[in-house]
């Protein structure tokens, strides 16, 4: 034998076995010669574990396969080192004739699995999907439409032949009496799951209708993630497949239409989440559909298909679900059974859906005893929803589980228009009290008392609301809380001067018993301004807003200087308090005002390196090339103090580098003097920025262009992987992200797509909304915007509790404006 091999092959065969090698080369003559040898091992393997049969199958050599299969002792079920058998190999490579020959062999194991657990049937179902979807995955942005069509035409015939072959392979496999259609691979996929998830209708029909499959097939098998054929078909919006699975006579009585994914979601929830209206309609027509099934979304919260549709804003699907005869529109869920569809709609601020729900004949518009429905829009300050519920006939005096009334909540949150709405209701009980001994979960700490509505308003110090209440007939001005305090006592204790004055006046008008209290001296003009500058320094919205009248107009001269010669805008700019700077500029603060040294707000902010403040001042019209002390500009101040980001921003906005100070020095001269004391080479970096811009400007001028591009450079390096995943998995969202990035290129600080400046631990970052689940987070570094994240949400800084704690200053100023006959008194402040 060895002599024959050596004679035929010489010394070329070192590792490969002669029989295997000859079969791979389709050398029938040599193979026949070798097979005649008495001691030939027909199942001998090469170094990769392939037998002659496997190599012949791999090469698609039909005659060679037929020759080998006729040999006695042939083992058709052997696997190579990758776990592939001849049958699996033939199915994967779409060798129809070879599959047919293998299946005719009496010893064939039609259900043999490879190392991944896949069978020939699973592969055939998968490969059809690949063939049918191949051109769907082409990147049409990379090639022209014409080239795409040419390539498709050239490939189309081959694709049709291969697709037809795979279909016939599926049929051949199903014709085998031992076929097991329910085998799952290592990920839990079955042939049906593969075909359904990849939208191959003909394969699904074969699997459901074939005599060897239809009666045996388990249509409810789930993979490792809990996905069934139905869930995958629904998730991919394969409408025809969904219809087949639900209505095929062999499985329609077996299909579990309410089967749940590992995440707890049903097919109906998946279709609702994605907004697949037609699929939702198909599922709702199934007699066994559980339209009220729940999914746990957090430790204490749950959702149904209806609330998912509400949260996602799918109005038409909401209407479809509500038409189902078994829908429970008042279903409560969550750990405390505190959530309903109406509450979800109120939380989602969707007026159309709220109206649809309120028009349902059996809707419970009152809500539960824990937090009645009316409290949701009150706490959120949504007047339109309060009005809708009041028109529906909701109980305006209903209390929360801890005894708070609607009016108390509106007062404590400072929602004056809602307070007016409630007070105008004919059934409102303005003297209603909290439960004795109970305190509100989040208000008790702040207000430290129980009591009636007027007491809460007095405690909050909101003179406008106190006046509204005092004007109500039947108000009990002497009502006491658990500590025995009246509204007047509370106002005294907290120093609410304007509230004290209002209550005292009302007592006098009513000729009730006068309650004496110590004289409270009104603050002087100097004291008022000191309070104003302190409020600006802290940047507290509530404190700053106390200097506005009811129409939002400033009550004092916003540009008045303190004893150090600083205006409020300069104070805020030096502190780097963007919130205060923004508040002041919106109300007419003059960015040109200078301090005693001659520096304005822009120069001050640039010197301190307050990037966001510099940008805000420039956006509001501050003169970028204005000069201050020693005739130095903001660019000089930023460069001298090593603030690279501010230097980049100023240069991009057009700051001149040619301006000279009192010492006849430009900004480049100033940093040249500093470079000897620059261990981190920051001044060298600034020089590079300035000189680079200068050269670019000259180059553009030479080309006849007026200025450099206004676009900002956007870096996506930090989230490139996530962007690629979006492009692959969700092209629609990816397109939205690309639009957002283009908006950032135009202006990272402004735009109509919900730009949000983040604070707290995320100070210096910005956010733009992609969709309800995801936001684009980015940082601005000079003239460059760096995308940090494009998936999920960030942990927001807890907003300051926007209670109405208006100081007496505003009320004093308003009173002076209203009551003074001498206009000169008010002119001192305005």
Map out the domains of the chain as residue ranges.
377-510, 580-702, 713-789
Banded pLDDT at 806 (limits 50, 70, 90)? very low
- The pLDDT assigned to 122 comes to 94
Say if 377-510 and 580-702 have the same CATH topology.
yes
- The pLDDT assigned to 6 comes to 53
Residues 6+ apart with CB under 8 A from 651: 635, 657, 689, 690, 693, 783
- Assess whether 756 carries a catalytic annotation: yes
- The pLDDT assigned to 444 comes to 23
Assign 644 to helix, strand or coil. Answer: helix
Token pair of 442 as six digits: 């989040």
- CB-based burial label for 398 (10 Å; 0-12, 13-18, 19+): middle
Residues 6+ apart with CB under 8 A from 818: none
Greater model confidence, 779 or 515: 779
- The pLDDT assigned to 247 comes to 94
**How far, in Å, CA of 376 to CA of 18, rounded?**
82
**How far, in Å, CA of 499 to CA of 487, rounded?**
9
**Upper half-sphere CA count for residue 195 (Cβ side, 13 Å):** 27
Q: Which of 309, 420, 289 is nearest to 357 (CA)?
A: 309
**How far, in Å, CA of 319 to CA of 321, rounded?**
6
What are the distances in angstroms from CA 400 to CA 294, 383, 395, 578, 721? 26, 19, 12, 38, 48
Q: Positive or negative CA dihedral for 675, 678, 684, 686?
A: negative
**Angle at which helices 145-175 and 201-209 pack, to 10 degrees?**
10
Q: Which of 436-440, 519-523, 524-528, 618-622 tops mean pLDDT?
A: 618-622
**How far, in Å, CA of 694 to CA of 656, rounded?**
9
What is the residue whose two structure tokens read 């004893």?
563
Greater model confidence, 544 or 796: 544
Token pair of 255 as six digits: 């299909």
CB atoms within 10 A of CB 346: 28
**How far, in Å, CA of 571 to CA of 562, rounded?**
9
User: Which superfamily does CATH assign the domain made up of 377-510 to?
Assistant: Ankyrin repeat-containing domain (1.25.40.20)
Start-to-end CA span in the chain (Å): 114
Residues 6+ apart with CB under 8 A from 613: 572, 573, 576, 577, 578, 581, 601, 605
**How far, in Å, CA of 86 to CA of 92, rounded?**
10
- The pLDDT assigned to 95 comes to 93
**What tens digit of pLDDT does each residue of 184-225 get?**
999 999 999 999 998 889 999 999 999 888 788 999 999 999
- Please state the φ and ψ torsions of residue 693, each to the nearest 5 degrees: -65, -40
What is the residue whose two structure tokens read 């191959």?
200
Residues 6+ apart with CB under 8 A from 503: 458, 466, 470, 477, 487, 488, 491
What is the residue whose two structure tokens read 């029938």?
28
Domain 713-789 classification at class level: alpha beta
What are the distances in angstroms from CA 153 to CA 144, 150, 159, 451, 567? 14, 5, 10, 81, 74
**Upper half-sphere CA count for residue 256 (Cβ side, 13 Å):** 12
Q: What is the CA radius of gyration of the chain?
A: 39
| Domain 580-702: which CATH number of 3.40.228.10, 1.25.40.20, 1.10.8.80, 1.10.1060.10 | 1.25.40.20
**How far, in Å, CA of 117 to CA of 290, rounded?**
34
Banded pLDDT at 3 (limits 50, 70, 90)? low
Mean pLDDT of 471-498: 67
Greater model confidence, 475 or 742: 742
Q: Which of 36-45, 98-107, 584-593 tops mean pLDDT?
A: 98-107
Residue 509 in this model has a pLDDT that exceeds 80: no
Q: Which of 117-121, 242-246, 532-536 has the lowest mean pLDDT?
A: 532-536
**How far, in Å, CA of 379 to CA of 392, rounded?**
19
Contact between residue 430 and residue 469 where contact means Cβ atoms under 8 Å apart: yes
What mean pLDDT, rounded, does the chain reach?
A: 78
Residue 443 in this model has a pLDDT that exceeds 80: no
Greater model confidence, 418 or 627: 627
Banded pLDDT at 341 (limits 50, 70, 90)? confident
- Assess whether 205 carries a catalytic annotation: no
**What tens digit of pLDDT does each residue of 342-372 get?**
888 888 888 999 899 889 888 887 877 777 8
Assign 765 to helix, strand or coil. Answer: strand
**What tens digit of pLDDT does each residue of 594-642 get?**
998 899 999 999 999 998 899 889 988 899 999 998 899 999 999 899 8
Q: Which of 720, 793, 797, 830 is catalytic?
A: 793
Q: Which of 28, 530, 756, 815 is catalytic?
A: 756
């Amino acid at each position: 034998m060895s002599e024959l091999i050596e004679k035929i092959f010489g010394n070329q065969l070192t590792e490969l076995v002669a029989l295997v090698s000859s079969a791979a080369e389709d050398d029938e003559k040599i193979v026949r010669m070798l097979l005649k040898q008495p001691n030939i091992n027909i199942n001998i393997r090469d170094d990769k574990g392939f037998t002659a049969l496997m190599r012949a199958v791999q090469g698609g050599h039909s005659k060679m396969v037929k020759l080998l299969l006729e040999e006695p002792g042939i083992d058709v079920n052997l696997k190579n080192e990758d776990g592939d058998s001849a049958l699996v190999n033939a199915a994967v490579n779409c060798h129809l004739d070879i599959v047919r020959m293998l299946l005719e062999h009496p010893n064939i194991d039609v259900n043999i699995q490879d190392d991944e657990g896949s069978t020939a049937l699973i592969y055939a179902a998968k490969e059809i999907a690949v063939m049918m979807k191949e051109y769907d995955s082409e990147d049409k942005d990379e090639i022209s439409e014409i080239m795409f069509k040419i390539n498709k035409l050239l490939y189309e015939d081959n694709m049709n032949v291969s697709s037809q072959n795979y279909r016939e392979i599926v049929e051949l496999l199903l014709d085998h009496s031992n076929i097991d259609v329910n085998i799952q691979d290592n990920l839990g996929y079955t042939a049906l799951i593969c075909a359904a998830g990849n939208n191959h209708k003909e394969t699904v029909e074969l699997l459901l209708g074939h005599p060897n499959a239809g009666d045996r097939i388990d249509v409810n098998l789930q993979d490792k993630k809990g996905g069934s054929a139905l869930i995958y078909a629904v998730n991919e919006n394969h409408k025809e497949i969904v219809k087949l699975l639900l209505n095929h006579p062999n499985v329609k009585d077996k299909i579990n239409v309410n089967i749940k994914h590992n995440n707890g979601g049903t097919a109906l929830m998946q279709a609702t989440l994605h907004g697949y209206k037609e699929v939702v309609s198909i599922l709702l027509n199934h007699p066994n559909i559980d339209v009220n099934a729940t999914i746990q979304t957090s430790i204490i919260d749950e959702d149904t298909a209806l609330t998912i549709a509400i949260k996602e804003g799918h109005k038409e699907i909401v209407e479809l679900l509500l038409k189902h005869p078994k829908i429970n529109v008042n279903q409560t869920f969550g750990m405390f059974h505190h959530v309903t569809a109406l509450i979800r709609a109120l939380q989602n601020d969707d007026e159309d859906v709220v109206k649809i729900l309120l028009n349902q004949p059996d809707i419970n518009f009152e809500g539960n005893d824990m937090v009645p429905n009316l409290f949701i829009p009150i706490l959120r300050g949504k007047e339109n929803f309060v009005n809708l519920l009041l028109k529906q006939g909701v109980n305006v005096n209903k209390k929360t589980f801890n005894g708070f009334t609607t009016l108390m909540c509106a007062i404590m949150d400072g929602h004056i228009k809602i307070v007016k709405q409630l007070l105008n209701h004919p059934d409102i009980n303005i003297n209603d009290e909290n439960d004795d001994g109970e305190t509100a979960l989040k208000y008790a700490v702040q207000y430290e008392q129980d009591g009636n509505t007027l007491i809460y308003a007095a405690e909050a110090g909101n003179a406008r609301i106190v006046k509204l209440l005092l004007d109500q007939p039947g108000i009990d001005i002497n009502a006491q809380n658990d500590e025995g305090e009246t509204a007047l006592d509370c106002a005294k204790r907290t120093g609410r001067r304007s509230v004290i004055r209002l209550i005292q006046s009302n007592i006098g008008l009513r000729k009730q018993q006068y309650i004496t209290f110590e004289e409270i001296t009104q603050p002087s003009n100097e004291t008022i301004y000191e309070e104003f500058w302190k409020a600006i320094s802290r940047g507290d919205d509530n404190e700053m807003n106390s200097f506005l009248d009811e129409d939002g107009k400033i009550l004092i001269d916003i540009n008045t200087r303190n004893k150090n010669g600083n205006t409020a805008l300069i104070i805020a700019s030096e502190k780097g308090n963007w919130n205060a700077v923004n508040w002041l500029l919106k109300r007419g603060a003059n960015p040109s005002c200078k301090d005693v040294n001659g520096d304005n707000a822009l120069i001050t902010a640039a010197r301190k390196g307050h990037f966001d403040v510099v940008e805000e001042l420039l956006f509001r019209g501050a003169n970028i090339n204005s000069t201050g002390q020693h005739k130095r500009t903001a660019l000089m101040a930023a460069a001298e103090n090593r603030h690279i980001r501010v230097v980049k921003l100023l240069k991009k906005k057009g700051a001149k580098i040619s301006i000279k100070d009192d010492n006849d020095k430009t900004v480049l001269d100033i940093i040249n003097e500093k470079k000897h004391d620059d261990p981190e080479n920051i001044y060298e970096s600034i020089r590079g920025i300035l000189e680079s811009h200068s050269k670019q400007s000259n180059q553009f001028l030479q080309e006849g262009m007026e200025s450099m591009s206004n676009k900002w450079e956007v870096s996506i390096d930090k989230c490139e992987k996530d962007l690629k995943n979006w492009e692959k998995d969700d092209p629609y969202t990816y397109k939205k992200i690309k639009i957002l990035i283009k908006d950032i290129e135009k202006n990272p600080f402004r735009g109509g797509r919900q730009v949000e400046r983040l604070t707290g631990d995320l100070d210096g970052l910005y956010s733009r909304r992609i969709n309800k689940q995801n936001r684009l987070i980015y940082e601005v570094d000079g003239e460059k915007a760096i995308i940090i994240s494009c998936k999920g949400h960030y942990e927001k800084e807890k907003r300051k509790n926007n209670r109405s704690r208006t100081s007496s200053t505003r009320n004093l100023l308003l009173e002076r404006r209203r009551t003074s006959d001498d206009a000169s008194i008010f002119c001192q402040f305005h």
